């Protein structure tokens, strides 16, 4: 079985060894998996192109490691517990045997509908067990999944489908979210009107709401299942074959298709899952993320299943039927390990303790957070009221691009420090660099966070545009992977993530590109130009502040704001809606025409003092700053 570190001494020793002899270290971990053919070489790499290959020449199928290999020993153990949106509807469980069978059946459905190794399949599904089943079914036959969060708009979905030229979309009729029913199939219909590569849409009946039906493309999920059996040998994949694409926001409007490959991703997600959460046989583990994000890929589906764990999938929202839902579900399913986002903790904290005290929460052993820095107050609330001061909180720092957790405590093994992600996992070599790219040595320092050596689950490329991958991650600091985060290393050598240093805003743990939101705003007929920045928000961590130049006079400011918010919601998705909009006569720009977001960020954050804005005399239009500051008062 994959190594599970059990003491601080062991962590120190293993870490040292993993840096001194990374290839030997990762080979030992990879040995614990099932391969059809062993690798010839553990690692080939250079960070200029970049070109990174792990377990070169190795052959495997990740689903045999997530499913088949567990059948003999834990076939009747629960693999997935699904908790529906409606607390009165029954939960559903799948044993490893049942999950294996369902995955093979759906893999045959994919094959029956013309999907072959290397084809791209787009997912636009709510958090139903079929999501996990179909993801694994893709991996079973070597098709590449591209999961799009089912809160994105039709045009965002279409962009992602077109970028990867997906042949198929998997969707549901609708989606339950709290009291609401949200259309899903209708969004897909609108999206694929502009997606020539789509041949088939397979729709799962879930809410029962009415949908339009296209006889040429549309297939009914349940009906397709009646045509197949549950025997499906796994496609033998090369270690470096692509397992999936997952889109993440970037500094241009076009999202990046982050590409992960089979072998390294499997080894690293399993290793990190077992070590960070210290999962023990029989534990019930619940990660509240959506499979539409990397957290769901790595730590609801692949990592836990490859480790033979019992993983909970939750369809609902934290505040339905009330703000006690998470804690009710923890008691109901006797959850031992609970992993969620700081924004959820803050939202529930704001609702008051009366939603927590009715629950025992006595099965919890380990708590986790992910997605953004957690503030001191939320950390202590989580520790005291949920963990009863008895559960370590693992603050896990990582990214879509890193595939797995990079810097985090190992629960009960390594030290905690509130608001710190603390120490790197074995095999991870973080460094801080200054603006010139020079490594900053020693402790009690701050800089740009980079990783200087490859790790198995790292990004391989951005789909269809390798140059973009090089530019964004490997060009700024030669020979290093640049994370886009600012970071502090304190006097004890512990890492604390400060936040993004690029044009990405983390709203409620969701990674949004300023350009993407601006493109959405600019779709409104009256908008001439816009600039968005993040500003601190009590619950969301950051929220979106939009500065907008409109044509002509505005009669009804509030009505126009509403319209623009509607446009963003439609063009990008509800998560990208600005919290604040300020109409401005102009935007501060450099002489080369670049918007000075630094100034806009300060104003959005409440700063009203021109002398804090840095040197504005070099601006193309310095006089605009005072006018933007003046206008900010009324927002």
Q: Does 542 bind ligand WT7 (CB under 6 A)?
A: no
Q: Which is nearer to ligand WT7, 221 or 398 (CB)?
A: 398
> Are the CB atoms for 453 and 43 separated by under 8 Å?
no
403 binds ligand WT7 (CB under 6 A): no
Least CB distance from residue 452 to ligand WT7, whole Å?
Answer: 17
Please name the residues in contact with 603: beta carbons below 8 A apart, sequence gap of 6 or more: 628, 629, 632
Q: Which of 64, 218, 241, 372 binds ligand WT7 (CB under 6 A)?
A: 372
Query: CB of residue 512 vs ligand WT7: minimum separation in angstroms?
Result: 9
* CA within 13 Å, CB half, 586: 14
What contacts 216, CB < 8 A, 6 or more positions away? none
> Per CB under 6 A, which region of 267-275, 397-405, 455-463, 513-521 contacts ligand WT7?
397-405
Residues contacting residue 630 through CB under 8 Å, at least 6 positions apart: none
Among the listed residues 101, 200, 239, 248, the single contact to ligand WT7 using CB under 6 A: 248
Closest approach, Cβ 523 to ligand WT7, in A, equals: 24
Q: Site for ligand WT7 (CB under 6 A): how many residues? A: 22
Contact 113, 143 (CB under 8 A): no
Sign of CA dihedral 262, 268, 269, 274: positive
Angle at which helix 597-604 crosses helix 623-632, to 10 degrees, equals 30
Q: How near is the Cβ of 569 to ligand WT7 at its closest, in Å?
A: 20
From 42, 131, 497, 546, residue interacting with ligand WT7 (rule: CB under 6 A): 497
CB of 404 to ligand WT7, least distance (A): 9
CA atoms within 13 A on the CB side of 94: 25
Q: Does 400 bind ligand WT7 (CB under 6 A)?
A: yes
343 binds ligand WT7 (CB under 6 A): no
* Cis amide bond preceding 30, omega within 30: no
**What tokens were used for 607?**
């700063």
The distance of closest approach from Cβ of residue 156 to ligand WT7 in the complex, given in angstroms and rounded to an integer, is: 15
294 touches ligand WT7 by CB under 6 A: yes
Residue 396 contacts ligand WT7 per CB under 6 A: yes
Taking the complex as a whole, the smallest distance from the CB of residue 492 to ligand WT7 amounts, in Å, to 18
| Alpha-carbon gap, residue 11 to 422, rounded angstroms | 13
Return phi, psi of residue 346, to 5°: -65, -40
Report the relative pairing of strands 174-177 and 180-183 from DSSP bridges.
antiparallel
The three-point CA angle 543-356-291 to 5° equals 50
Nearest CB to ligand WT7, comparing residues 185 and 297: 297
Residue 414-453 contact track with ligand WT7, rule CB under 6 A, x = bound: -------x--------------------------------
Residue 296 contacts ligand WT7 per CB under 6 A: no
CB of 257 to ligand WT7, least distance (A): 13
Cβ distance to ligand WT7 smaller for residue 295 or 340: 295
573 is a site residue for ligand WT7 (CB under 6 A)? no
Query: How many C-beta atoms lie closer than 10 Å to residue 525's C-beta?
Result: 9
> Interface residues with ligand WT7 (CB under 6 A)?
248, 293-295, 370-373, 395-400, 421, 483-485, 497, 500, 506, 511
């Amino acid at each position: 079985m994959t190594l599970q570190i059990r003491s601080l001494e062991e962590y120190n020793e293993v870490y040292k060894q993993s840096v001194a002899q990374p290839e030997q270290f990762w080979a030992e971990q990879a040995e614990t998996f099932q391969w059809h053919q062993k690798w010839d070489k553990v690692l080939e790499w250079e960070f200029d192109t970049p070109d990174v290959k792990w377990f070169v020449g190795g052959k495997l199928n990740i689903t045999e490691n997530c499913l088949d290999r567990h059948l003999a020993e834990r076939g009747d153990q629960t693999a997935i517990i699904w908790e529906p949106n409606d607390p009165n509807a029954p939960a559903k469980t799948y044993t490893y045997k049942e999950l294996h069978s369902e995955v093979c059946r759906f893999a045959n459905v994919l094959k029956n509908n013309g999907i072959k190794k290397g084809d791209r399949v787009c997912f636009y599904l709510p958090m139903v067990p079929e999501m996990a089943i179909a993801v694994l079914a893709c991996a079973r036959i070597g098709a590449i999944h591209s999961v799009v969060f089912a809160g994105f708009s039709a045009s965002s979905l279409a962009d992602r489908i077109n970028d990867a030229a997906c042949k198929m979309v998997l969707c549901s009729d609708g989606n339950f979210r709290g009291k609401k029913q949200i259309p899903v199939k209708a969004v897909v219909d609108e999206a694929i009107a502009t997606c020539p590569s789509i041949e088939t849409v397979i729709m799962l009946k879930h809410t029962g709401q009415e949908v339009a039906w296209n006889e040429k493309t549309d297939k009914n999920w349940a009906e397709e299942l009646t045509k197949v059996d549950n025997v499906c040998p796994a496609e033998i994949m090369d270690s470096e074959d692509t397992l999936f694409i997952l889109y993440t926001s970037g500094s241009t409007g076009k999202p990046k298709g982050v590409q992960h490959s089979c072998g390294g991703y499997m080894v690293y997600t399993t290793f990190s899952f077992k070590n960070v959460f210290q999962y023990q046989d029989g534990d019930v583990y619940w990660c509240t993320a959506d499979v539409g994000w990397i957290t769901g890929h790595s730590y609801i589906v692949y990592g836990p299943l490859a480790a033979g764990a019992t993983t909970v999938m939750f369809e609902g929202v934290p505040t339905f039927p009330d703000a006690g839902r998470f804690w009710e579900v923890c008691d109901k399913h006797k959850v031992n390990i609970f992993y969620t986002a700081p924004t959820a903790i803050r939202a529930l904290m704001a609702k008051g303790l009366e939603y927590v005290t009715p629950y025992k929460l006595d099965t919890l052993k380990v708590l986790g957070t992910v997605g953004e820095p957690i503030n001191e107050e939320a950390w202590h609330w989580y520790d005291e009221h949920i963990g009863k001061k008895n559960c370590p909180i693992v603050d896990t720092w990582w990214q879509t691009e890193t595939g797995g957790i990079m810097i985090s405590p190992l629960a009960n093994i390594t030290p905690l420090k509130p608001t710190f992600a603390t120490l790197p996992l074995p095999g991870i070599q973080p460094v801080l660099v200054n603006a010139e790219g020079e490594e900053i040595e020693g402790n009690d320092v701050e800089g740009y966070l980079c990783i200087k050596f490859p790790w198995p689950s790292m990004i391989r490329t951005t789909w269809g545009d390798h140059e973009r991958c090089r530019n964004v991650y490997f060009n700024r600091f030669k020979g290093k992977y640049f994370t886009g985060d600012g970071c502090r290393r304190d006097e004890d050598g512990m890492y604390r993530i400060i936040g993004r240093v690029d044009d990405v805003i983390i709203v409620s743990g969701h990674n949004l590109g300023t350009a993407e939101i601006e493109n959405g705003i600019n779709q409104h007929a009256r908008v001439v130009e816009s600039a968005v920045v993040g500003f601190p928000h009590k619950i969301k961590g950051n929220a979106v502040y939009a500065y907008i130049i409109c044509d002509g006079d505005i009669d009804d400011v509030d009505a126009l704001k509403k319209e623009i918010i509607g446009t963003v919601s439609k063009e990008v998705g509800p998560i990208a809606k600005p919290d604040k909009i300020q109409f401005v006569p102009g935007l501060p720009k450099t002489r080369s025409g670049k918007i000075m977001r630094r100034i806009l960020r300060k104003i959005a954050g409440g700063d009203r003092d021109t002398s804090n804005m840095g040197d504005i005399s070099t601006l193309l239009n310095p006089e605009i700053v005072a006018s933007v500051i003046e206008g900010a008062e009324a927002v």
